[in-house]
Amino acid sequence: MLGGLPASRGEQSRGADAGAPPPQLCWHFRLDGCRQVDQTLWFHRAPSGWEPSDPNPFTPDGTYDRGWSCFRLLDREGETLFTGRAPNGLFVAAAERRVPDLAWRVCDFIRYERGQGRQVILDGPKEADCVEMIRRAWESTVDERAIRANDPPVVVHSTPREAWPAIERDSMLKSTARLRAEGCVSTPLPVETSEVAQYQDGEPAEYADHIMFGQPGNPVVECIIVSKQRGSFCLDADARYTPGVRLYFDLHAIIRDGLGVRDGLHLVKVRDHLPLARYLLGVVGVEDIHSDRPGEEWTPRLFTEEADRTFQQRWRPSGRHGGNT
C-alpha cells in the first residue's frame, strides 16, 4: 500500500483489445540526440473529463484488463501518493502536486509499466503540460545505475522476528513469490477475505517477485508489519504492536550494481532476492535497543526512532553509511 489508500478488488474483465489507439491520443517521441523513438516512452493521454471508472477510451469495447495502468496527476496540494485497482480492473496510481520527485516518478512509472508489457494512461489537469514535464525529466532517469540526488544512502526492510533466522541462514533476503515457491513462507498468508489480502490481490502480479524498502525515519514500514499482524490496514504510527527486526541496506551499492528497480511508486525495489554479504549494513531488533520499555508498549513510531538511533550509533563509526546523512 502506498499513501494509505487500500485498493478495491478488481472485477474480472472480459479482456480488452489492446490494439493501436487513435494516433492523436497516443504519445511517443524522440529524445534529443537519439535517432530512434524510445519505445518505452509511449503512453496514452487521457481525454478531457476522463475518470478511471469510465470505459477505456482506447479499446473498441471500452474494457480494461490487467494489461492496463494509469498515472493520475491530481489538481490539489499535498504530498500523498495513492494506488489501487478500480472495479473495472484498471490499476491506478494518483499523486498530489507536492509528491517529491514527481516528474521522475512519472517517468519511472511509464518505463516500468511498459517494460511489463502494460499500456499506460496518463491523466492530469487540463492546464498541465504533462508531456513537456516528462520530456524534461526523461533523460535524467534513463541510467538505471545512476545515483540520484535524493536517493538516501540507506534503506530499510522490516520483517517479522521469526523470519530473521531463516534470512540469516540463507544469507539473503527473498521476495514473497520466491518464499512461496520454496514452500518456506515464515508467516501465514493473510486470509483471502482480509483487507490486506484484497489489496495485494489488486496489485500487479509481479509485485510479489520484488522486495520493497522504506527510508530510515519513516515508520511506514513498521505500519506494514502492524497491518499484516491485524489483517487490516493500520497507518497509525502510534498503534501498539509487536516489532520484528529492521534490516538496513546500502541503497547506493544496490543501485550501482544494477539491482535497483524503479517503478515510480516505491523508493526502489529488488527482484527475487538480495544477498546480505555485500548490501546488509545492520540488523536491529528490540533486544538490541537499550530501553526499559515493555514489549507491549512499542509503536511503529517509537520502534523506528529507537532502532534507527541504535543503527546509527553502531554502524556510523565503521565508515559505511549509517543513516540519512
Domain that holds residue 86: 23-141
Contact at 8 Å (CB) between 26 and 42? yes
pLDDT tens-place string over residues 217-255: 999 999 989 988 888 888 899 999 999 999 999 999 999
Q: Is 44 in the same domain as 87?
A: yes
Q: Which residue has the cell 490496514?
A: 233
Contact at 8 Å (CB) between 249 and 287? no
Final residue of a structural domain among 106, 141, 176? 141
Q: Is 230 in the same domain as 122?
A: no
pLDDT tens-place string over residues 65-108: 889 999 999 988 989 998 999 999 999 999 999 999 999 999 99
pLDDT tens-place string over residues 5-46: 333 323 222 233 334 433 334 544 444 444 444 555 688 999
Q: Is 201 in the same domain as 85?
A: no
Q: Is 187 in the same domain as 123?
A: no
Q: Is 61 in the same domain as 192?
A: no
Q: Strand order of the sheet with strand 119-123?
A: 26-28, 42-45, 119-123, 68-73, 91-95, 81-85
Is residue 2 included in any domain, yes or no?
no
Q: Is 186 in the same domain as 314?
A: yes
Q: Is 57 in the same domain as 118?
A: yes
Residue 153 pLDDT grade (very low, low, confident, very high; cuts 50, 70, 90):
very high
Residue 194 pLDDT grade (very low, low, confident, very high; cuts 50, 70, 90):
low
Q: Is 68 in the same domain as 176?
A: no
Say what the pLDDT of residue 135 is. 83
Q: Is 229 in the same domain as 265?
A: yes
Q: Which residues contact 70 (CB under 8 A, 6 or more apart)?
A: 46, 52, 90, 91, 92, 93, 120, 121, 122, 123
Exposure of 254 by Cβ count < 10 A (0-12 exposed, 13-18 middle, 19+ buried)? Answer: buried
pLDDT tens-place string over residues 272-317: 999 999 999 999 999 999 876 665 689 999 999 999 999 999 876 5
DSSP secondary structure code for residue 177 in this structure? H
Q: How many CB atoms lie within 10 A of CB 230?
A: 15
Q: Where are the alpha helices (DSSP H) in 116-191?
A: 130-138, 164-170, 176-181
Q: Is 230 in the same domain as 309?
A: yes
